[in-house]
């Protein structure tokens, strides 16, 4: 078997074999103290349960439409922990009735016309990597519609235009990370936007979900890179003007950045790109106390040095990613530039790191060629490999009866210490209540002058058959805690359906009214991705 897995992250080839799963089970037992990790039988595609379709595409859309159960199952949901569990069980009850694959913006409009007229819920679909229920209409909402169509944008792909003078490119929304970077590399360019889902997710998906990228400071959010967007709505096309900046009213593109498919279908975008970095400098710094590392990260974020990498991994995170096993906190520091030596910036960063009790564990390494710093060696290399592999690992853990998931947020520095204590306590409490306990780790993915973006992982033994209830209880507990402590319900995973209860409380109520009014103006039939952002 090969190709995309029906239930797990990524491709079938990358899923570990039984020997790999046994090694993982041993490690999981060591990490969580659980005794139950054991190899469960893997599901077979032919056992996937897909409901009978309620509606079929009209003849005019026949060329774009697929009603094959396997195809529909592939579009049933994203790759959140509950999605993995349901997929592992062969439960594809959330499958759409039809998958539509338009080839251009006009065909997207035709699909929206049909959905609006026939009252078919229309779910824009990029890479299908949502971890927040972003591509699945909730069971209780399905009855409001004649059916559900998954609007797969994979054919709207490719690099269409390169403006090498302005360093901007026009690309299709369905372009996946690796294809985009390959096409850009031919011009010596890069978007330099690497969310953890990079291999599978798409440009349109990144924009629709306000993806974060993996750099710690400076331009990394997809928001920073969008120069102009084109979106198709049921009421027509929206195309913003290519501009480096403007003060003409509220920024129009900002309404669609983060609109999660509820306000239109992003079909293409002009994106700001960069010349490929050549100058690099990196080092790893260890701290005896996590709090000291956090203070150092704050100093770095407020210094104006703009490190590309300023990840802080707490002791549990170091353990999980096999970066350090001795209870220290590790900070991975890296600088990159296409233009100038990064040695001076790293040197100053290391001074700041030392001011807060850090000691250099490896590096500094300074280079001025195209090789990646720490790409293969040292803590940074170990961590980077683990970063890309983590979603694969999560799927494999499901297959050995281990619950593993992540959640991420951001808050201001002044409240971080109490925030972190409250959130960590809530996670531990919930794990104890539901599965007898487990591991909770934290890293900083991004640091801003006014606050960090902490990213938490929790791992515990799963109660097979009862995974979803346990997960839900942990998820609710940590979400309540981080909302109460002043964080955001999501820094870069998006809202989807999973985060809606807390999002609704986080956003100003009147902004909710504005979003509802915007949705009525753009999507009068209310068919676009119902249930995200507003009802």
Query: Site residues for a second copy, window 422-451 (CB under 8 A)?
Result: 446, 448-451
DSSP calls for 427-481? HHHHHHHHHS--EEEEEEEEEETTEEEEEEEEEEE--TT-HHHHHHHHHHHHHHH
- Binding a second copy (rule: CB under 8 A), the pick from 493, 497, 529, 530 is 493
The CA–CA distances, whole Å, from 49 to 74, 99, 207, 237, 326 equal 12, 17, 32, 37, 46
User: How big is the CA angle at 84 (ends 397 and 76), to the nearest 5 degrees?
Assistant: 165
Minimum distance, C-beta of residue 292 to a second copy, in the bound complex (Å): 15
Query: Which of 259, 309 has the CB closer to a second copy?
Result: 259
The pattern of x and - marking residues 106 through 145 that bind a second copy according to CB under 8 A reads: ----------------------------------------
- Regarding 74 and contact with a second copy (CB under 8 A), the answer is no
Query: Which of 83, 223 has the CB closer to a second copy?
Result: 223
The pattern of x and - marking residues 277 through 306 that bind a second copy according to CB under 8 A reads: ---------------------x---xxxx-
509: Cα separation from own chain's centroid: 26
- Binding a second copy (rule: CB under 8 A), the pick from 191, 257, 281, 422 is 257
- Binding a second copy (rule: CB under 8 A), the pick from 339, 355, 466, 535 is 339
- Binding a second copy (rule: CB under 8 A), the pick from 25, 28, 285, 453 is 453
Beta-strand relationship, 98-100 and 65-66: antiparallel
- Regarding 258 and contact with a second copy (CB under 8 A), the answer is yes
User: How big is the CA angle at 281 (ends 277 and 284), to the nearest 5 degrees?
Assistant: 130
Query: Which of 90, 334 has the CB closer to a second copy?
Result: 334
Beta bridge partners of 114: none
- Regarding 241 and contact with a second copy (CB under 8 A), the answer is yes
- Binding a second copy (rule: CB under 8 A), the pick from 410, 440, 477, 525 is 410
Query: Which of 155, 507 has the CB closer to a second copy?
Result: 507
- Regarding 166 and contact with a second copy (CB under 8 A), the answer is yes
**Residue that the structure tokens 């989807």 belong to:** 496
- Binding a second copy (rule: CB under 8 A), the pick from 4, 178, 327, 344 is 344
- Regarding 255 and contact with a second copy (CB under 8 A), the answer is yes
Minimum distance, C-beta of residue 310 to a second copy, in the bound complex (Å): 14
The pattern of x and - marking residues 197 through 236 that bind a second copy according to CB under 8 A reads: ------------xxxx--------x-x---x-----x-xx
- Binding a second copy (rule: CB under 8 A), the pick from 81, 256, 407, 455 is 256
**CA neighbor of 260 nearest in space, from 533, 32, 534, 535:** 533
**CA neighbor of 423 nearest in space, from 448, 436, 435, 406:** 406
Minimum distance, C-beta of residue 423 to a second copy, in the bound complex (Å): 15
Query: Which of 114, 206 has the CB closer to a second copy?
Result: 206
Minimum distance, C-beta of residue 173 to a second copy, in the bound complex (Å): 17
- Regarding 486 and contact with a second copy (CB under 8 A), the answer is yes
Output DSSP code: residue 372: P
Query: Which of 36, 480 has the CB closer to a second copy?
Result: 480
Minimum distance, C-beta of residue 335 to a second copy, in the bound complex (Å): 10
Query: Which of 74, 214 has the CB closer to a second copy?
Result: 214
- Regarding 533 and contact with a second copy (CB under 8 A), the answer is yes
**Which pair of tokens denotes residue 457?**
């992982």
Q: Are 51 and 72 in contact (CB under 8 A)?
A: no
DSSP calls for 193-244? ---TTTTT-BHHHHHHTT---S-SSSS-SHHHHEEEEEEEETTEEEE----S
- Regarding 515 and contact with a second copy (CB under 8 A), the answer is yes
Helix (H) or strand (E) segment spanning residue 159: strand 159-163
- Regarding 524 and contact with a second copy (CB under 8 A), the answer is no
User: How big is the CA angle at 184 (ends 181 and 187), to the nearest 5 degrees?
Assistant: 150
- Binding a second copy (rule: CB under 8 A), the pick from 200, 356, 420, 492 is 492
Query: Which of 7, 455 has the CB closer to a second copy?
Result: 455
- Regarding 340 and contact with a second copy (CB under 8 A), the answer is yes
Instruction: Give the end-to-end CA distance of the chain in Å, rounded to a whole number.
Output: 41
- Regarding 67 and contact with a second copy (CB under 8 A), the answer is no
Cβ partners under 8 Å of residue 391, min gap 6: 9, 10, 79, 129, 196, 197
Cβ partners under 8 Å of residue 355, min gap 6: 296, 299
- Regarding 518 and contact with a second copy (CB under 8 A), the answer is yes
Output DSSP code: residue 533: S
Q: How many CA atoms lie within 13 A of 368 on its CB side?
A: 5
Q: How many CA atoms lie within 13 A of 409 on its CB side?
A: 28
Q: Are 159 and 175 in contact (CB under 8 A)?
A: yes
Q: Which of residues 346-365 bind a second copy (CB under 8 A)?
A: 348
Query: Which of 123, 431 has the CB closer to a second copy?
Result: 123
- Regarding 488 and contact with a second copy (CB under 8 A), the answer is yes
What's the rounded Cα separation, in Å, for the pair 351 and 93? 56
Query: Which of 329, 337 has the CB closer to a second copy?
Result: 337
- Regarding 274 and contact with a second copy (CB under 8 A), the answer is yes
Q: Which of residues 17-56 bind a second copy (CB under 8 A)?
A: none
Q: Which of residues 371-400 bind a second copy (CB under 8 A)?
A: none
- Binding a second copy (rule: CB under 8 A), the pick from 37, 57, 105, 495 is 495
Beta-strand relationship, 309-313 and 439-448: antiparallel
Q: Are 304 and 344 in contact (CB under 8 A)?
A: no
Site size with a second copy, rule: CB under 8 A: 94
Minimum distance, C-beta of residue 447 to a second copy, in the bound complex (Å): 8
């Amino acid at each position: 078997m090969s190709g995309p897995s029906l239930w797990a992250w990524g491709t079938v080839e990358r899923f570990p074999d039984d020997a790999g799963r046994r090694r993982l089970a041993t490690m999981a037992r060591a990490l969580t103290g659980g005794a139950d990790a054991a190899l469960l039988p893997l599901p077979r595609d032919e056992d996937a349960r897909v409901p009978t379709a309620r509606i079929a595409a009209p003849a005019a859309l026949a060329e774009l439409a697929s009603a094959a159960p396997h195809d529909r199952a592939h579009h049933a949901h994203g790759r959140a922990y509950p999605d993995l569990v349901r997929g592992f069980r062969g439960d594809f009850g959330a499958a759409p009735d039809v998958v539509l694959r338009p080839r251009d913006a006009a065909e997207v409009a035709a699909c929206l016309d049909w959905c609006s007229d026939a009252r078919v819920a229309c779910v824009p679909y990029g890479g299908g990597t949502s971890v927040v229920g972003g591509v699945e209409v909730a069971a209780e909402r399905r009855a409001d519609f004649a059916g559900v169509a998954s609007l797969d944008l994979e054919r709207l792909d490719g690099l269409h235009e390169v403006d090498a003078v302005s360093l901007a490119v026009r690309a299709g929304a369905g372009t996946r990370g690796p294809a985009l970077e390959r096409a850009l590399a031919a011009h010596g360019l890069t978007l330099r936007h690497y969310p953890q889902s990079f291999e599978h997710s798409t440009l349109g998906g990144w924009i629709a979900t306000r993806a974060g990228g993996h750099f710690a400071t400076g331009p990394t959010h997809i928001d920073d890179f969008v120069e102009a967007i084109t979106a198709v709505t049921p009421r027509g096309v929206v195309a913003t003007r290519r501009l480096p900046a403007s003060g003409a009213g509220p920024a129009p593109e900002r309404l669609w950045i983060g609109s999660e498919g509820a306000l239109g279908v992003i079909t293409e975008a002009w994106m700001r790109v960069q010349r490929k970095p050549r100058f690099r400098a990196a080092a790893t710094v260890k701290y005896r106390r996590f709090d000291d590392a956090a203070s150092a990260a704050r100093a770095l974020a407020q210094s104006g040095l703009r490190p590309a990498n300023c990840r802080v991994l707490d002791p549990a995170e170091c353990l999980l990613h096999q970066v350090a096993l001795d209870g220290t906190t590790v900070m991975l520091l890296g600088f990159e530039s296409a233009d100038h030596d990064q040695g001076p910036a790293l040197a100053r960063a290391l001074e700041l790191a030392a001011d807060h009790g850090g000691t250099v564990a490896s590096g500094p390494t300074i280079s001025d060629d195209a090789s990646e710093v720490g790409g293969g060696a040292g803590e940074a290399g170990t961590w980077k490999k683990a970063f890309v592999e983590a979603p694969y690992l999560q799927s494999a853990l499901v297959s050995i009866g281990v619950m593993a998931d992540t959640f991420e947020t951001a808050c201001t520095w002044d409240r971080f210490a109490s925030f972190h204590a409250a959130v960590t306590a809530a996670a531990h409490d919930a794990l104890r209540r539901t599965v007898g306990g487990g591991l909770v780790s934290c890293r900083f993915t991004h640091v801003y002058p006014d606050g960090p973006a902490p990213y938490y992982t929790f791992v515990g033994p799963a109660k097979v058959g009862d995974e979803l209830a346990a997960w839900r209880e942990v998820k609710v507990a940590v979400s309540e805690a981080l909302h109460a402590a002043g964080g955001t319900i999501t820094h870069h995973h998006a809202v989807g359906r999973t985060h809606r209860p807390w999002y609704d409380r986080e956003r100003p109520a009147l902004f909710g009214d504005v979003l509802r009014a915007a949705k009525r103006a753009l999507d009068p039939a209310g068919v676009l991705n119902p249930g995200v952002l507003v009802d």
